[in-house]
Chain A
Amino acid sequence: MQEPSIPDIIQLIPLKSYLILSTALFVIGILGVLIRRNAIVIFMSVELMLNSVNLLLIAFSSYKSDPSAQVFVFFIMAVAAAEVAVGLAIIVMIYRNTRTIDIGFLNKLKG
């Protein structure tokens, strides 16, 4: 018996469910960015937003039998890794100077 292909497995679940799931993850990410005070947690929320996009792209790609979105996902992952490198460097730099990563302490710049 032949193994079912991955697009077939993905298509066992209706497209609408993927859309709802990734929108929910995306909204959780946005709320995390807006509400949390810790720079690392905000950063994790941004990653959650990016990964919800990856999930959505893969679902669309499987339903449309079009590989270009899967290529896009690789680009997103690579760019996100580069962003993590820069972002963590900035957070470490701030920690060295202030001994905290709570964004409430960032109030040197005011109008």
Chain B
Amino acid sequence: MYPIILLSFLGIVVLFLGFAKSKAILLPATLLFLAVALVGNFVEWNQGTIIYFYNMLAVNNLTLAFNGIVLVSAFMIVAMTRGFQDDDEAQPAEYYAIMLFSLVGAFMMIGFENLIMLFLGLEILSVAMYVLTGSDKRNLRSNEAALKYFLMGAFATGILLFGIALLYGATGSFTLTGIQAYIGQGNPSYLLYGGLLLVLIGMLFKVSAAPFHFWTPDVYEGAPTIFTAFMATIVKTAGFAALFRLLSHSFTGIYDYWWITLAVITVLTLLVGNIIAVYQDSFKRMLAYSSISHAGYLLIALTAMTPQTENSILFYSMAYSVATICAFGVLIPLAREKAMTGKPRETYEAFNGLARNNPLLAFVLTVSMLSLAGIPLTAGFWGKFFVFGSAAERGIIWLLVVAILMSAVGIYYYFRVIMAAYMKEGDTAEIRVAPFYKIVLVTATIITLLFGIAPGLFTGLV
């Protein structure tokens, strides 16, 4: 609960810091504020479940751990935003403030106890993302991405709200416990099923699961890369935390009804994400489809809904977020240095000869691709291991078979980048990276390898 109050206040402070003549203070100030929020987050660690604001928000170790993942991801992404200072058009104070405010929305989604908070958190996060997506105002691609994201997001919100209204009509309550108690009475009304279906569709839109994924590649490609990284990690982590909370706290009573729906969506998401990713020429667009496929893996854990699900979603979100930040972090300096016609080069060719040019970036890229592909000794392997384990425990073998086949497909397109970086000859223009930027990338790589070798370090924490 403290990070919500802290970041709401500190976000306003960042806005006022924008009046200062020198913009140089903004980045360290924002990083400091995020660190303060991270400390504030763990004040309530190991104190059991605490309920705040008249049953609106709950705090326990699981929500704190999700908050921690979101905050650390945000810290890394903000630390990579030095480019704002070179750009005269950029409004760094506003960008940083909006990023901090959007995190407040993420925390509300992670710990919601009442559907009002789910809706508010989702909207705070989404509206902030619409603005950030369109932040490159003169760039038509960014404009197009912002409009698509906005229209699709508002549409999804409408569907979610209609679902919430139907749930309220059936149960007479917006609280998770109220809905659970209503289902416990047995013989639920048809309004409940319709409401649950619409709420699921609304949420799956936001986490970009197929067949509600069609906005994702365009939006990810058009948005400025740094905000794409923000979208791919924080929105996805918060979305899955919220979906898990909703399903596990309220709807376990009618598991037989929704698991098959979710299983079909999972299979579709895995197929669409992985197979279309193979045919992409743009690295950024491939990462968009890869994020769809990772939504599919996370959905497997939700479909199985065993007692281990919460830990596997937590671990998977962590592994996916860190690896994705690395991947986008390598792309940003590369696309900037190799921009020839004003349009950033984001195709696979941009990576040609990277290993000779800048071995550190090539190594970071390799580890992050291995982690996304789920190769052993990286955190991504254990993420997939835990997720597949929960499906095996529930005995949904056909889902498991599809998932394993699709992760084999995934290896092809992740290795294409590594091949381009190591095997192919490229132009020898030197790629310069700021020391601070290097520290972030190396830290993220170390996290990936550390939890890949000793996953118990992370799972033992929660």
Residues of A whose CB lies within 8 Å of any CB of B are: 19, 22, 26, 29-30, 33, 39, 42-43, 46, 49-50, 52-53, 56-57, 60, 64, 66, 68-69, 71-72, 75-76, 79, 82-83, 86-87, 90-91, 93-94, 97-98, 103, 106, 108-109, 111
Contact = CB atoms under 8 A, between A and B. Distances in A.
Contact of B127 (A33, A56, A83, A109): A83
Contact of B120 (A26, A75, A94): A75
Nearest to A15: B169
The interface residues of chain B, by DSSP majority, are classed as: helix
A71 B116 contact: yes
Contacts of A46: 151, 154-155, 158
A103 B151 CA distance: 11
A42 B120 contact: no
B439 interface: no
Given A75-B120, A103-B147, 12 more contacts: A19-B169, A33-B155, A46-B151, A50-B161, A53-B158, A60-B168, A83-B157, A86-B131, A97-B143, A108-B140, A108-B141, A109-B144
B154 A83 contact: yes
B64 interface: no
B130 A82 contact: no
A87 B147 CA distance: 8
Interface of B: 116, 119-120, 123, 127, 130-131, 134, 137-138, 140-141, 143-148, 150-151, 154-155, 157-159, 161-162, 164-166, 168-169, 172-174, 217-218, 221-222, 276, 279-280, 285
The 3 closest A-B pairs by CB, nearest first: A49-B158, A109-B218, A53-B161
A76 B144 contact: no
Nearest to A29: B158
Contact of B276 (A75, A108, A111): A111
B141 A109 contact: yes
Contacts of B157: 50, 83
